[in-house]
Structure 1
């Protein structure tokens, strides 16, 4: 296995046009559809970095910053920003473009944690990541803080789940 790879080695661009079945009653892209696009781009990025299958371990909040309309092009850019032993943090930025006017807007951003798995579905080591650009270095430097927030959020979720008493007939 390679000891390290550059962030740009995992860079993914995924572009689609928003069609009528992809939209809600307001003519904007379904949030769930966008979340599926985000997960897909992150998985491709993680697999490109690890050259192994990956699973999604977590998705940080997805803030919908600008609507994406029917007929727009939606472009996702993703790359690995940080790695653990078997996990990778992947940053995904979503940009929408009105293809008739050329106007574009950043519509969403998210961080996902992808875990590389072997043929038995068990976590397996991944190469370290090397940030090069200022943006990559900034995301790399702030990754441990985001990881700590994820860890606390997961602990709180587990405590909440364990405290539920489900009484089904």
Structure 2
């Protein structure tokens, strides 16, 4: 799994118990999944269709640095299925796992649209092929 993004847990990210609010973490995961999918599809219109069971395994507190890892499970005709792990950057302790996140490529009307991709592509490879 590749860990692409790091977030610093700040006071506004905390719940009343003084730990990272789960809703904030899920928003970070959703954003990361969308960005990852946009880069893979080379198209900015994507939506989250599904998130499987979310497994909170530990917590984070103010000042912790968490990193979000995304891995492709499969390419569908209009979708990309991902899995996610968030962990504490310093201790490597897993905070949360999400086994499936399904992102869908859509047209300007929000209708699923084939993306034509079959494998993970890296931006650097796209840039090199254009030279």
Q: Which has the higher strand share?
A: 2
Find the counterpart in structure 1 of residue 113 from structure 2.
124
Tell me if structure 2 keeps the 8 A contact 1:43–1:54: yes
Query: Whose Rg is larger?
Result: 1
Q: Which has the higher helix share?
A: 1
Tell me if structure 2 keeps the 8 A contact 1:16–1:73: yes
1:49-104 deviation line (CA, Å, top 9, x unaligned): 1112210000011111011111100110113220111011011110113xxxx323
Give, in whole Å, the separation in 2 of the partners of 1:51 and 1:119. Answer: 15
Q: Which runs of 4 or more aligned residues in structure 1 lie more than 2 Å from their structure 2 counterparts after TM superposition?
A: none
| TM-score, with structure 1 as normaliser | 0.64
Q: How many matched pairs? A: 117
Give, in whole Å, the separation in 2 of the partners of 1:23 and 1:63. Answer: 19
The answer on 1:83 being equivalent to 2:75 is yes
The answer on 1:115 being equivalent to 2:104 is yes
| TM-score, with structure 2 as normaliser | 0.81
Q: How does 1:43-122 map to 2 (within 5 A)?
A: 43-52=34-43, 53-97=45-89, 102-110=90-98, 111-122=100-111
Q: What RMSD in Å do the two structures reach over aligned CA positions?
A: 1.7
